[in-house]
């Protein structure tokens, strides 16, 4: 769960070194999902998307985010898309030292 904590920090859900109250893996099919609860008691879903699948591409995830925003703008109940401090809602898992499968994977967080 250290990786989950690191992602929560990158999205600004907790300060560096601040612990999450709860991290629980959720059932999923192609992706990896975690229910997380911050020290402030707020609940979120961290979604690690499999970028090797069409449903996990950056373009598809951005389209899903736009669709969620449109639903919410119409007053329909839908989770909210969480933006990182730099404004991005989808962050790449790639980077120095990341495993090969992470080079096309992405992470995003939604309200729970």
Residue 51 pLDDT = 80
Decide if 41 contacts 21 (C-beta within 8 A). yes
CA-CA distance, 107 to 31, in Å (whole number)? 10
Tens-place pLDDT, residues 12-22: 999 888 889 99
What is residue 95's predicted lDDT score, i.e. its pLDDT?
66
What is the maximum alpha-carbon separation in the chain?
43
3-class secondary-structure state, position 33? strand
Whole-number Å distance between alpha carbons of 32 and 26: 8
> pTM for the full model?
0.87
81 φ/ψ angles, rounded to the nearest 5 degrees: -85, 130
| pLDDT tens by residue, 6-57 | 999 999 999 888 889 999 999 988 889 999 999 999 999 999 998 878 888 8
């Amino acid at each position: 769960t250290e990786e989950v904590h690191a992602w929560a920090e990158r999205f600004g859900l907790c300060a560096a070194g601040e612990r999450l109250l709860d991290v629980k893996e959720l059932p999923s099919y192609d992706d990896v999902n975690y229910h997380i609860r911050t020290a402030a008691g707020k609940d979120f879903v961290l979604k690690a998307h499999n970028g090797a699948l069409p449903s996990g591409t950056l373009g598809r995830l951005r389209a899903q985010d736009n669709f969620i925003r449109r639903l919410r703008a119409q007053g329909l109940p839908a989770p909210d898309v969480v933006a990182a401090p730099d404004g991005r809602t989808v962050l790449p898992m790639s980077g120095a030292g990341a495993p090969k499968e992470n080079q096309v994977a992405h992470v995003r967080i939604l309200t729970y």
